[in-house]
Amino acid sequence: MKVTTEAADLSKNDRNSGQGMQLRPQISNVDVQVQHEIEQFYYREAWLLDNRKFKEWFALLDDDIRYFMPLRTSRIQREGALEFSGDNEFAHFDDDIKTMKGRLRKLLSDVGWSENPASRTRHIVSNVIVNTLDSDDVYEVSSAFFVYRNRLESQVDLFAGERRDILRRRADGIGFGIGKRIILIDQSTINSNNLSILF
């Protein structure tokens, strides 16, 4: 696949660099083995979340993680660059390693009511586009997600979007660590009573 039109430049509509990367679909520059390893990493990562192996999932986060989900608004075409909230604006999530550890502590506690009893989730990850960065061991990856949540008796929430990650190869675990995760959710008004699950 090679797409070079302006409209396909995923970074073009970003208000700033908050969404993280100059990602643009281009002819894949990674070999089949790397593509396979990264896709397998995502499947295993999703498995950890969906099976509530939260400690193992949190161990995938690098110490300099930024876990960021900007707000999204409906804008007229000529103001499309303002669609995502910027770095110094409000967001759905903007966490570092310390605040992520606090979220883990809440999740594992007996008194975290929004996830106790726990939600049933299914993370489907697809459309994995990998770009190599300067170092062989660091990759910039776009993927599409579809997350289904069912909780308590009959609550159902559906979330779709794109994740833009920086992945760093690790010798242990499931092969990579997450250095950055930018989550571009395909909703402006969040159609759920809370965001107590992870993306």
Residues that bind another protein (CB under 8 A): 69, 71, 73-76, 79, 82, 85-86, 88-95, 99, 101-103, 105-106, 109, 111-115, 152-153, 155, 188-196
Residue 63 CB, shortest distance to another protein, in Å, is 14
For residue 126, give the DSSP letter: E
User: Based on CB atoms, which residue is closest to another protein, 133 or 160?
Assistant: 160
Minimum CB–partner distance for residue 73 and another protein (Å)? 4
Tell me whether residue 73 or residue 127 sits nearer to another protein (CB atom): 73
User: Least Å distance between CB 115 and another protein?
Assistant: 8
Nearer to another protein, 56 or 94 (CB): 94
Phi first, then psi, for residue 97 (nearest 5°) are: -65, -35
DSSP collapsed to 3 states, 30-83:
CCHHHHHHHHHHHHHHHHHHHCCCHHHHHCCECCCCCEEEECECCCCHHHHHHC
> Are residues 189 and 159 in contact, defined by beta-carbon separation less than 8 angstroms?
no
Distances, alpha carbon 61 to alpha carbons 48, 97, 169, in Å? 13, 7, 12
Q: How far is the CB of 101 from another protein (least distance, A)?
A: 7
Torsion angle, alpha carbons of 61, 35, 125, 43, to 10: -60
Residue whose CB is less far from another protein, 9 or 94: 94
Least distance in angstroms from the C-beta of 40 to another protein:
28
| CA pair distance 88, 56, nearest whole angstrom | 31
- Nearer to another protein by Cβ, of 37 and 180: the residue is 180
